[in-house]
């Protein structure tokens, strides 16, 4: 065993001790299913991020054990298990999942949750998240919940209720808004929250890239449902469109800069100007621009686009009454310049934000002091949905309207077979309520 592992085992023992104290004091620590020091992990959605999250969870705590796996495609489960085995090779007993705990299909999440796990990693496309999250917390499981957490307003409301249930039951609920766990970003936003630029009056942020992974042309044997799932990024029913699925990371910085204060309304533009109209490129747009308005007159502006052969940019400018902060996460640099001529630069060593999430999640579970990202992850997701609703319709959308909207992107339960997809939105014609 290496030094890191022995250190982690010491933390594990300390955490187990804390759990025992909490139990004696009558506080529900809800640490492990069995009372042993093993935390059984179940993963739902064994793709790229799910596999990464699984390895993070296994590395975060030496007492974790991969117990059950679920996906709609069997091959993903096996590939994920193989990758985890490579990453945690010296302890095969921690990743050996027998055939009877490899669950395939749209109900796989239910079987994973019912298999005797302590912690569930929810890493499917976001259209499925609200339903899976509710099932997990109602079954008393701790959850790591990738972002975004929903694709529509009913989904966000469901997530808020799930967050309330998790809190009531002392369960940890950690979001995949990973920049919240990045050391230099924490340092920069911490400076701002301590008054480093005065009162925040405006945020301008971007998420401009050349696009999503290459879409896959339809194979004759694929049903509509399989075709859409294999190209899920391109179908807003499952992804929420790229503003919700991807740019939501930058939109979350608006939430962070304003310390959870939500805007009163937004107006937006957008369209689909470079994305080719192919069946596999689905029904999402390729650009959005949003203005969020706050009750005190502050503003936030967000721009995101998927345009090949154009510069990528993922930055934020946070403008306060006494200075401004340039947030440059891809460069690992953040800079404050104040009106009085003084400056501040981030200096924290860079950490692995994905690992940090799981280190903090499992430490919280061990200590019996739950972490709950529920409100921030639901609100940041709704900011993206609100912007999308304003852009698709061409109408101003208030926070109350966005929160109350009944637009349900998946009114029919998912099953293999025929499934029609929505049309590409046209402002002035498309209605979302």
Residues in contact with ligand NAD by CB under 6 A are: 44-50, 70-73, 76, 106, 108-109, 123-126, 128, 146-147, 176, 178, 229, 245
Considering beta carbons, is residue 269 or 421 the nearer one to ligand NAD?
Answer: 421
* Longest Cα separation, the chain: 66
Q: What is the DSSP letter of 215?
A: P
Name the minimum Å distance from CB 179 to ligand NAD. 8
Using the minimum distance from each CB to ligand NAD, give the nearer residue, 237 or 245: 245
Collapsing DSSP to helix, strand or coil, 40 comes out as strand
The residue nearest ligand NAD at its CB is: 47
Closest CB 233 distance from ligand NAD, rounded Å: 8
* Smaller CB separation from ligand NAD, 109 or 253: 109
CB-nearer residue toward ligand NAD: 186 or 366: 186
CB of residue 330 to ligand NAD, shortest distance in Å: 12
Please identify, using beta-carbon distances, which residue of 181 and 258 lies nearer to ligand NAD.
181
Q: Sheet harboring 343-345: ordered strands across?
A: 343-345, 333-338, 323-328, 316-320, 200-209, 299-306, 287-293, 265-271, 397-398
- DSSP-derived letter for residue 298 is -
What is the closest distance, in whole angstroms, from the C-beta atom of residue 125 to ligand NAD in the complex? 5
Rounded to whole angstroms, the Cα distance separating 327 from 188 reads 8
Task: Report residue 134 as tokens.
Answer: 């509710």
CB of 115 to ligand NAD, least distance (A): 14
Nearer to ligand NAD by Cβ, of 15 and 282: the residue is 282
Q: Which of 261, 282, 307 is nearest to 218 (CA)?
A: 282
Measuring CA to CA, which residue among 169, 249, 266 is closest to residue 209? 249
Q: How far apart are CA 207 and CA 248, in angstroms?
A: 9
- Mapping DSSP onto H, E and C, the string for 348-380 reads CCCCCHHHHHHHHHHHHHHHCCCCECHHHHHHH
CB distance 55 to 84 below 8 Å: yes
CB of 416 to ligand NAD, least distance (A): 11
In the complex, the smallest distance separating the C-beta of residue 21 from ligand NAD, rounded to whole angstroms, is 34
**Residue number, 47 or 271, with CB nearest to ligand NAD:** 47
Cβ-proximal residues to 340 (8 Å cutoff; 6+ apart), any chain: 322, 323
């Amino acid at each position: 065993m290496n030094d890191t592992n022995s250190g982690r085992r010491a933390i594990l023992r300390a955490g187990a001790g804390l759990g025992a104290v909490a139990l004696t004091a009558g506080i529900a620590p809800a640490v492990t299913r069995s009372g042993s020091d093993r935390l059984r992990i179940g993963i739902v959605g064994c793709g790229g991020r799910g596999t990464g999250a699984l390895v993070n969870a296994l590395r975060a705590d030496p007492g974790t054990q991969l117990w059950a796996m679920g996906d709609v495609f069997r091959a993903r489960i096996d590939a994920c298990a193989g990758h985890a085995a490579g990453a945690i090779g010296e302890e095969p007993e921690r990743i050996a999942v027998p055939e009877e705990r490899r669950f395939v299909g749209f109900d796989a999440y239910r079987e994973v949750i019912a298999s005797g796990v302590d912690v569930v990693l929810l890493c499917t496309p976001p259209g499925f998240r609200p339903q899976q999250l509710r099932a997990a917390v109602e079954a008393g499981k701790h959850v790591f919940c990738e972002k975004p957490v929903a694709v529509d307003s009913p989904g966000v409301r469901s997530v808020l209720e799930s967050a309330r249930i998790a809190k009531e039951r002392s369960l940890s609920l950690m979001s995949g808004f990973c920049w919240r766990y990045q050391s230099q970003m924490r340092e920069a936003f911490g400076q701002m929250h301590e008054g480093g630029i005065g009162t925040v009056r405006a945020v301008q942020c971007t998420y401009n890239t050349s696009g999503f992974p290459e879409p896959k042309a339809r194979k004759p044997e694929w049903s509509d449902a399989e075709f859409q799932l294999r190209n899920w990024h391109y179908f807003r029913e499952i992804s929420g469109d790229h503003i919700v699925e991807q740019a939501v990371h930058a939109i979350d910085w608006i939430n962070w800069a304003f310390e959870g204060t939500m805007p009163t309304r937004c107006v937006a533009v957008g369209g689909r100007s470079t994305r080719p109209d192919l069946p596999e490129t689905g029904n999402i747009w390729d650009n959005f621009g949003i203005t969020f308005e706050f009750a005190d007159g502050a503003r936030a502006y967000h721009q995101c686009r998927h345009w090949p052969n154009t510069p990528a940019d993922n930055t934020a400018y946070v403008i306060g009454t006494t200075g401004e902060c340039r947030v440059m996460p891809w460069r690992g640099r953040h800079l404050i310049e104040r009106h009085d001529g003084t400056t501040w630069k981030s200096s924290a060593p860079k950490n692995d934000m994905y690992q940090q999430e799981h280190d903090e999640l499992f430490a919280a579970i061990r200590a019996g002091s739950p972490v709950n990202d529920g409100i921030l992850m639901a609100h940041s997701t709704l900011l993206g949905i609100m912007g999308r609703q304003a852009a698709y319709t061409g109408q101003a959308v208030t926070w109350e309207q966005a929160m109350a909207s009944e637009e349900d992107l998946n009114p029919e339960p998912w099953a293999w077979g025929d499934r029609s997809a929505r049309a590409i939105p046209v402002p002035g014609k498309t209605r979302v309520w």
